[in-house]
């Protein structure tokens, strides 16, 4: 059964054996990037057309100018995205503005072939209008891939990791070992609680810590204090006068 997830992180194993996590971008951010690119392309068209009409026509004549403009349009229509996405940054100007980039679903950079495939299929993703097919397809794939992404095996990800807010506030709690062996998931939950608790209101902290009453053995503020103490112990188990960590399979210590 698929686990319900609260984030869009996608785990990928690299060729070197390490598992990395990709933050795939959804339709909203990508639509913004597309709109920026669209405006940029319109601006380029306007500038180039004006330059052609006033300078090029005089220099090389109407027919050659028409020809060059047609070639330019062909290039812009099909290769604007390809050139940028296959480049070193893997992103068009619009995607760069939105801090996105195109990656191979294997975690590596996009190859020229992949960039060609994913962009030529835009024609179909656009149909019947406003990228309806592409957006529907993105909603039904777990990596937000449109048809072009599926064929080219690419994903659009955020460049930067999400901002981690660290609020520093003194924890007035005594380090204490948990009364029983915690599983890895439980330890992870407790450590995350420690990381995020400083950002919450007192009521929220108490609400969450009261869930662990079976572990802390005390309600309310005292329970929270004990929980934070266990969190501190997990962060620095071997400091100063800390008790030895409970051994695996050892009988639970009295609280």
Enumerate binding residues for another protein (CB under 8 A): 14-22, 61-64, 66-71, 73-74, 77-78, 86, 88, 90, 103, 107-109, 111-113, 116-117, 120-124, 147, 150-153, 160-162, 164, 166, 184, 187-188, 191-192, 195, 235-239
**What is d(CA 234, CA 129) in angstroms, rounded to the nearest whole number?**
54
Nearest CB to another protein, comparing residues 37 and 149? 149
Tell the smallest beta-carbon distance from residue 222 to another protein (Å).
26
Q: Does residue 186 contact residue 194 with C-beta atoms inside 8 Å?
A: no
Nearest CB to another protein, comparing residues 121 and 135? 121
Tell the smallest beta-carbon distance from residue 77 to another protein (Å).
7
Tell the smallest beta-carbon distance from residue 214 to another protein (Å).
22
**DSSP of 18-48:** -EEEEEB--HHHHHHHHHHHHHHHHHHHHHH
Nearest CB to another protein, comparing residues 143 and 226? 143
Nearest CB to another protein, comparing residues 109 and 179? 109
Nearest CB to another protein, comparing residues 29 and 159? 159
Nearest CB to another protein, comparing residues 133 and 212? 133
Q: Does residue 149 contact residue 135 with C-beta atoms inside 8 Å?
A: no
**What is d(CA 149, CA 170) in angstroms, rounded to the nearest whole number?**
47
HSE-CB of 125 using CA atoms within 13 angstroms = 21
Tell the smallest beta-carbon distance from residue 9 to another protein (Å).
9
**DSSP of 54-117:** IIIHHHH-HHHHHHHHHHHHHHHHHHHHHHHHTSTT---HHHHHTTEEEEETTSSPPPHHHHHH
**What is d(CA 164, CA 166) in angstroms, rounded to the nearest whole number?**
6
Tell the smallest beta-carbon distance from residue 218 to another protein (Å).
25
- Three-state DSSP class for residue 240: coil
Tell the smallest beta-carbon distance from residue 223 to another protein (Å).
22
């Amino acid at each position: 059964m698929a686990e319900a997830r609260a984030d869009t992180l996608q785990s990928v194993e690299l060729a070197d054996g390490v598992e990395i996590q990709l933050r795939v971008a959804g339709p909203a951010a990508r639509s913004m990037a597309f709109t920026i690119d669209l405006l940029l392309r319109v601006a380029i068209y306007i500038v180039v057309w004006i330059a052609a009409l006033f300078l090029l026509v005089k220099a090389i004549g109407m027919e050659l100018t028409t020809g060059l403009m047609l070639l330019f349009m062909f290039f812009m229509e099909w290769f604007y995205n390809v050139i940028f996405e296959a480049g070193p940054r893997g992103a068009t100007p619009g995607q760069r503005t939105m801090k996105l980039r195109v990656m191979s679903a294997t975690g590596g950079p996009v190859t020229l072939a992949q960039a060609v495939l994913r962009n030529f299929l835009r024609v179909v993703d656009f149909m019947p209008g406003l990228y309806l097919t592409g957006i529907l397809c993105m909603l039904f794939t777990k990596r937000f891939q449109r048809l072009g992404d599926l064929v080219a095996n690419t994903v659009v990800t955020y460049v930067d990791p999400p901002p981690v807010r660290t609020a520093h506030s003194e924890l007035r709690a005594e380090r204490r070992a948990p009364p029983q062996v915690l599983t890895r998931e439980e330890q992870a939950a407790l450590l995350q609680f420690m990381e995020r608790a400083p950002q919450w209101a007192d009521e929220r902290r108490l609400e969450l810590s009261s869930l662990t009453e079976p572990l802390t053995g005390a309600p309310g503020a005292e329970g929270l204090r004990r929980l934070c103490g266990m969190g501190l112990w997990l962060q620095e188990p071997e400091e100063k006068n800390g008790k030895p960590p409970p051994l695996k399979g050892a009988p639970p210590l009295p609280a």
